[in-house]
Structure 1
Amino acid sequence: MSPAVTLGLFAAWALHDAEEVAFGPRWIRENVPALRKRFPQVPDSVWQFMETFDDREFRAAVGVMAVIVAAAAASGHRTGGRSAFFQGALNGFGLHGVMHLAQAAAARGYTPGSATSPVIVIPFTLWARARLRRAGLLRPVSVRDAVSGAAVAGAATVVSHAVARTLIRMS
């Protein structure tokens, strides 16, 4: 399998997360108060968490996630694209892009990650899955797999922020 498919996951992720690093923390600071009013059904703990992390913590969390995505891409490269870890991360990456577009729709405007999702995240995921499918390597994905993948991606995000918060407090 071409390194463009396997290692390309990390490259596409890095381009996408560069947008999030550049705009995420500032956007959150500026928009959480209005979002909190618009979405009162969201638990206060979510808003409080979002209000407490700063630029350093956000960048550190992205760094932790970089290790996870790099490991998935390397696993895919090492196995010629067969790795379940790689394919799960690829699927999670694509779903992540869809979630960014849903967030932008809910916020009625730009949200960090929504600019690169339709031009990098989703197209790369579809292209890489098509290449894996043509090579006979793509594992079938059920609804359960998609839900599980989204849960793993969410857990990786939570872990990334928890590790980042710990590292920042230790420094």
Structure 2
Amino acid sequence: LLVGERHARRLPGFDCGNSPTELESLDVVGRTLIHTTHAGTQGLTNATGASEVLTGALVNAAAIVRYLRACNPAEVTLVRMGHEARERCDEDDLCAQLLLARLRDEPFDTGSIRERLREASSARKFFDPACDWAPARDFELCTRLDAFDFVLRLDRSDSPPSLRRVDAA
């Protein structure tokens, strides 16, 4: 399946864009997904110096923390890709703050995450009827804290490199 976007729009000829609402309607079990995003793919490509690369979001934040604790790396770098890999965005900043707090065993108000992000300028598109490419359900799906119990790890032994599911310990 071809999944991807440029400037938040589905690429021509692709099965779906970067919309979780679109993706949940597809049968992906046992299928290979080729996924490209404007910012995320650039981040993976540019992470050549890292010994290990994980992708993450609010939906798998707890799994990321468990995975990192089990691996116990000497150093962890959190990279926020932001909007089109050029501008900071609230959802990436908030996710990084949450991961950092959890890694340090510090308190974090998770109850306000959805409310805080709903007020973010980057969330406006989900509630704008003119933006039919950004359904409100995407916002709900993307802000489901700890919904998935796995991480996606970059596997450079593949050509081209791929993301592999690793269940959290």
Q: TM-score, normalised by structure 1?
A: 0.29
Structure with more helix by fraction: 1
Structure number with the higher strand fraction is 2
Higher RCO (CA 8 Å, separation ≥ 6 residues): 1
Q: TM-score, normalised by structure 2?
A: 0.29
